[in-house]
Amino acid sequence: MNKTIIININSIVFHIEEDAYDTLRSYMIDIKKHFGNTAESKEILEDIENRIAEMFNEHIQTGRKEVINLDDVQRVIGQMGHVRDFEESADSVGGQHYEQEARVGPSPQVDYMSKKLMRDPDDKIIGGVCSGLGHYFGIDAVWLRVILVVFCLVGGSGVLIYIVLWLVMPMAETRADKMAMRGEEPNLQNFKKSFDEETRSFSETFSSTGEHIGRGVRSAGNLLSGCLGLIGKMIAWIMLVSAGLTLLGLFIFYIFNVMNIFGLENPMFFPPLRGLATQEAFIAVTFGFLAISIPFFALFFWLIRILFSVEKLNNYMMLTMFAVWIVSIVGIIYYCIAVSQDFREKSTVNVQKSLQPQEVYYFTEKDIRVLDASEQNSLKSKFNIQLDGQDLRNYLHRDINIYFESIDSLSQPYIQYSYSAKGKTYQLASERARNIVYEAIQEQKTILFPSHFLLTKNTLERDQQVTVTVYLPQGANVVLQKEIEHKIRDISYWECRENYPNDQQKYTEWTMSDAGLRCAQPTQSEEEEVKSEKKALLDGVEIKKDSVIHIDGSNVTIEVKDNSLKINTKKEKS
């Protein structure tokens, strides 16, 4: 049985055997004698104690080994080194500085795998991220800062990357952390070296600048720093509120889009998602949400840390978030490229259907979403709508254009349907074009155009369009109902409609000419012109019963007989 003693190192309690305690006590006395001769030595003694406490923690195994023994102490001392090791080295060169002796000897091999990725507080512009990366990869921090500025100028991604790395990388606060950041072994020699470098740097800086700083300059600096601090806090609060509202808006937008994807329709829907299948749309909108929200969350939490002094997130949590963000960016790029490839080729399928000749052709539109009780059973047979229990709105589309063209007066009228779609290959585009269901129905004199065309089940949206061209013989009379106005192209429907009284604007009458449809209803100016011409012909003419009147300067004669009046026009002989 061995006697144990309870000791406190760096606010951590250890149980240590008595003989191990005596050895550790003698070792610490030697260290304090060597480093305790200056007022600035307190920091290095605390760093050495912190390192010893960390090494003791590595030897403790809960439930199996909870007491520090002599072997543990000797192993720690062997790793840290003895004070006499570098005291003898300094004496052997006649009191020459330790650093000079170290430069004469062989250069130590740095184990880059033992480096830790940490921020350097001694060489920083904002947060020390670039200098920490420079130590880890062995690159000058200047080049990393140049690369970061380039990324900030191109798309602003450098700002997001810097913020994420700032949150992920811990600060090298202690001297042991700085050694681990540079890949140096945390022993007494390196502690001594680091301490001498800091002391010399501090002395040089203080001697060169301390004499030039006056009390008035310090007061002005304090006032300026206070004002800048207040402005900085105000800006931080504004950014915090903006980031929080942005996160809330992104979350609401994501939830409502997911509801839309799975059939719970609402107005908040991102249109490009219609071009993806259900599962792909869900994955894509999730990637997009994570890619945008994670940087805002990092900014939000960083501002909370600044304003409320909250502890940072666990490193594993931050690394996980960073990995998820990278995966989301890659996923978005993949879906953008994949979807764009599916719009590469375009195919058009033409189908012709004949029409029954009529004296007057009536064209109107049938809104297939609105059904009368008598039409419910005939809807499927008329317009080939087969939904199989699915929501009608998910399959109907309105991109329909109707044109009118003239043919010879003796030709048979017909309709040509052009179904077009896009795809990754021409064959796939042709297949999607054939999957469009749209055809007009002729009921006696009336031709009914469906309000929407139908895509068969599981067909993705790839710019499907329907173009309808109605070929009618010259001289045909056409009546266009108001419901079809928004689908007609190449004619000015509203100009013809203005020729009718307000109570008769539900339809317009047209005549097919060699140049296309022409409005059959004359304008008011044309009617007034005809009336004025008739009036000019009859001015000064005396009409008597049973007489024939010749109009001077024209080939028109007016014959009055009994109670009738007949106007004749003579053609000139060539």
pLDDT in tens, 482-495: 888 888 888 888 78
Judged by DSSP in three states, 549 sits in strand
Q: Are the C-beta atoms of residues 462 and 398 closer than 8 Å to each other?
A: no
Q: How many CB atoms lie within 10 A of CB 292?
A: 18
Q: Are the C-beta atoms of residues 151 and 137 closer than 8 Å to each other?
A: no
Q: Are the C-beta atoms of residues 471 and 415 closer than 8 Å to each other?
A: yes
At a CB cut-off of 8 Å and minimum separation 6, what does 209 contact? none
How far are the Cα atoms of 52, 74, 161 from residue 18, in angstroms, in the given order?
18, 14, 52
CA atoms within 13 A on the CB side of 289: 19
Confirm whether pTM is higher than 0.75: no
How far are the Cα atoms of 184, 209, 297, 454 from residue 118, in angstroms, in the given order?
14, 30, 22, 60
Q: Are the C-beta atoms of residues 440 and 450 closer than 8 Å to each other?
A: yes
pLDDT at residue 338, rounded to an integer: 85
Q: Which residue has the tokens 């800086």?
A: 205
Q: Are the C-beta atoms of residues 111 and 183 closer than 8 Å to each other?
A: yes
At a CB cut-off of 8 Å and minimum separation 6, what does 350 contact? 416, 417, 418, 419
Q: Which residue has the tokens 């008597």?
A: 544
At 241, list the tokens: 């509120």
Q: Which residue has the tokens 């009368």?
A: 372
> CA torsion sign, 168 to 173 to 177 to 181?
positive
Question: Phi/psi of residue 79, each to 5°?
Answer: -75, -35
What type of residue is 283?
I
Q: Measure CA of the first residue to CA of the last residue in the chain; give whole Å.
A: 145
What are the sequence ranges of the domains in the chain? 1-108+193-211, 213-341, 351-519, 524-569
> CA torsion sign, 211 to 216 to 221 to 226?
positive
pLDDT at residue 346, rounded to an integer: 92
Helix/strand number for the chain, H first, E second:
17, 19
pLDDT tens sequence for the chain (574 residues): 677 788 887 778 888 888 888 888 888 887 777 776 655 567 777 777 777 877 877 777 766 777 888 888 888 877 777 766 655 555 554 444 444 433 333 334 444 446 778 888 877 778 788 888 888 888 888 888 888 777 777 666 777 788 888 887 888 877 677 777 777 766 666 666 665 665 555 455 545 454 545 555 555 656 666 677 778 788 888 988 998 999 999 999 999 988 888 877 777 778 777 777 788 889 999 999 999 999 999 888 888 887 777 777 778 888 898 999 999 999 999 988 888 888 889 999 999 999 999 889 999 998 877 665 555 555 444 554 544 444 455 567 888 999 999 998 888 999 999 999 999 999 999 998 998 888 998 888 899 998 888 887 677 888 899 999 999 999 999 999 888 888 888 888 878 888 777 766 788 889 998 888 988 887 666 556 655 655 555 555 555 555 555 555 556 666 666 566 566 655 544 3
Judged by DSSP in three states, 454 sits in strand
Find, among 71, 73, 204, 181, the residue nearest to 135 by Cα.
181
Q: How many CB atoms lie within 10 A of CB 283?
A: 15
Q: 400-439: string of b/e by CB count within 10 Å (b at 16+)?
A: bebbbebbeeeeebebebbbbbbbbeeebbbebbebbbbb
Write down the mean pLDDT value for the chain.
76
What type of residue is 262?
F
Question: Phi/psi of residue 413, each to 5°?
Answer: -70, 150
Q: Are the C-beta atoms of residues 466 and 438 closer than 8 Å to each other?
A: yes
- The angle subtended at Cα 60 by Cα 54 and Cα 62, nearest 5°, is 130
**% helix / strand / coil in the chain, to the nearest 5?**
50, 20, 30
Task: Output Rg (C-alpha) for the chain, integer angstroms.
Answer: 45
Q: Are the C-beta atoms of residues 90 and 98 closer than 8 Å to each other?
A: yes
pLDDT at residue 30, rounded to an integer: 78
Q: Are the C-beta atoms of residues 453 and 438 closer than 8 Å to each other?
A: yes
Find, among 396, 494, 379, the residue nearest to 451 by Cα.
396
